[in-house]
C-alpha cells in the first residue's frame, strides 16, 4: 500500500471503520473515499457498482456491517442476515469488477461453532453448530469469508478475511437494548452512580467468558495484515486472554467508582459459553495486542464526557 493509493473504508463512521481511518491517517495516508449510509445504501447493488465505477478505489477495508449485542442479534434476525449478506456481496463483487488491489473483510468470532474447543483456531470454521442467538449474523459473516476465498480462487483477487474478537473503544453504541456488554455496563454503572441507585442489573448469569480487544489494537492489526498477509482463509485478531462477564462487570464498576451491588436478569440469554481466540497465527506473523483491558476501559470512560446521556 502506497501513501497515494485511494482507500475506501466502508463503515468509516462506525467504531471499527473510524479506528481504521485514525490509524491510516496516523501512518500518513490521506487519499480516502468515504460515503455515509445516507449517501450510499450498501445494500443496493446498482448504487454500490456505480460508486466503485466512479471512485475506483485501490484498497478496501470492509468494516460496514449491521452489528449489535446478543439481544439485537437475537431480535433483528432478518436484518442481521439480509443487511450483512447484501453489504458484503455488493462490495466484494464490485471490488473484483473494478480491479481493487486488495480488500480486507472483517468478520467476527461468532463464526465458530458454539461448543468448539478453546482457544478457537482458524481451522474450526464449519466444524459444528453455531450459537443460536447470533446464527443469522454468523452465517452472513461465514458467507463473506467464503466469498473472499472464492473470488481469490476463481479470479485471483487478493481479498483477505480477519476475525476480531469482541471489540470496544471510541464511537461504540451505548443504547442499552442493542449494545454489547462492555459499553452497556459502563453506562449502567455510570447512571447508577449518578442517580445513587443501590444496584445494577446485568444480563444473564455472568458466567460466560469473553475476550475484549480495544479497537485501536484491531485497527493496528488490520493495517499490519493489509500490508503483509495475502492468503486465503481467515486470521483471528484478539488478545488471547478472556474473563468471565461477572469479572468484567466488577472491573467496570471499579473504573466508574460505583459502590452498590450487582444483580442478574436471568430472563436474558448468556449466549455462547466461551469464545477465546487462538491468536498464534497472528503472533507468529509478528503482531500482538498492546492495550490492557482495564487501561482500555479507563480511556473509553474518560472519553465519554461529551455524550448526551453521560
Q: Which spans of this chain sit near ligand GFB (rule: CB under 6 A)? A: 69-70, 73, 108-110, 133-134, 137, 166, 179-181, 184-185, 202-204, 208, 210, 245, 268-271
Q: Which is nearer to ligand GFB, 18 or 84 (CB)?
A: 84
Q: Which is nearer to ligand GFB, 42 or 245 (CB)?
A: 245
Q: Which is nearer to ligand GFB, 111 or 157 (CB)?
A: 111
168 assigned to active site: no
Output the smallest distance, CB 70 to ligand GFB, in A.
Answer: 4
Output the smallest distance, CB 112 to ligand GFB, in A.
Answer: 10
Q: What are phi and psi of 145, to 5 degrees?
A: -60, -45
Q: Which is nearer to ligand GFB, 179 or 239 (CB)?
A: 179
What is the SS3 string spanning the chain?
A: CCCCCCEEEECCCCHHHHHHHHHHHHCCCCCEECCCCCCCCCCCHHHHHHHHHHHCCCEEEECCCCCCCHHHHHHCHHHHHHHHHHHHHHHHHHHHHCCCCEEEEECCHHHCCCCCCCCECHHHCCCCCCCHHHHHHHHHHHHHHHHHHHHHHHHCCCEEEEEECEEECCCCCCCCCCCCHHHHHHHHHHHHHHCCCCEEEEECCCCCEECEEEHHHHHHHHHHHHHHCCCCCEEEECCCCCEEHHHHHHHHHHHHCCCCEEEEECCCCCCCCECCECCHHHHHHCCCCCCCHHHHHHHHHHCCCCCCCC
Output the smallest distance, CB 5 to ligand GFB, in A.
Answer: 30
Output the smallest distance, CB 4 to ligand GFB, in A.
Answer: 35
Q: Which is nearer to ligand GFB, 184 or 225 (CB)?
A: 184
Residue with smallest beta-carbon separation from ligand GFB: 69
From 8, 29, 59, 137, the catalytic residue:
137
Output the smallest distance, CB 163 to ligand GFB, in A.
Answer: 10
Query: Which residues are catalytic, by number?
Result: 137
Amino acid at each position: 500500500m502506497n501513501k497515494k493509493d485511494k482507500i475506501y473504508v466502508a463503515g468509516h463512521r462506525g467504531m471499527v471503520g473510524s479506528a481504521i481511518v485514525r490509524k491510516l491517517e496516523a501512518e500518513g495516508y490521506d487519499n480516502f473515499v468515504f460515503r455515509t449510509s445516507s449517501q450510499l445504501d450498501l445494500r443496493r447493488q446498482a448504487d454500490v457498482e456505480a460508486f466503485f465505477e466512479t471512485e475506483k478505489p485501490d484498497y478496501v477495508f470492509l468494516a460496514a456491517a449491521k452489528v449489535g449485542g446478543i439481544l439485537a442479534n437475537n431480535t433483528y434476525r432478518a436484518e442481521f442476515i439480509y443487511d450483512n449478506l447484501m453489504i458484503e456481496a455488493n462490495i466484494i463483487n464490485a471490488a473484483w469488477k473494478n480491479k481493487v488491489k486488495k480488500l480486507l473483510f472483517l468478520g467476527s468470532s461468532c463464526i465458530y461453532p458454539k461448543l468448539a474447543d478453546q482457544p478457537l483456531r482458524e481451522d474450526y470454521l464449519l466444524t459444528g453448530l453455531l450459537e443460536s442467538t447470533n446464527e443469522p449474523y454468523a452465517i452472513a459473516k461465514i458467507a463473506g469469508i467464503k466469498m473472499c476465498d472464492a473470488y481469490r480462487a476463481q479470479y485471483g483477487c487478493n481479498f483477505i478475511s480477519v476475525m476480531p474478537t469482541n471489540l470496544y473503544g471510541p464511537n461504540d453504541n451505548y443504547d442499552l437494548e442493542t449494545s454489547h456488554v462492555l459499553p452497556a455496563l459502563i453506562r449502567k454503572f455510570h447512571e447508577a452512580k449518578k442517580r445513587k441507585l443501590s444496584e445494577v442489573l446485568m444480563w444473564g448469569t455472568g458466567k460466560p467468558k469473553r475476550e475484549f480487544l480495544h479497537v485501536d489494537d484491531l485497527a493496528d492489526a488490520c493495517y499490519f495484515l493489509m500490508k503483509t498477509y495475502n492468503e486465503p482463509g481467515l486470521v483471528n485478531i484478539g488478545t488471547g486472554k478472556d474473563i468471565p462477564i461477572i469479572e468484567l462487570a466488577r472491573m467496570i464498576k471499579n473504573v466508574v467508582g460505583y459502590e452498590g451491588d450487582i444483580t442478574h436478569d436471568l430472563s436474558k440469554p448468556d449466549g455462547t459459553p466461551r469464545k477465546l481466540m487462538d491468536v498464534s497465527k497472528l503472533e507468529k506473523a509478528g503482531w500482538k495486542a498492546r492495550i490492557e483491558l482495564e487501561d482500555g476501559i479507563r480511556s473509553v470512560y474518560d472519553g465519554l464526557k461529551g455524550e448526551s446521556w453521560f
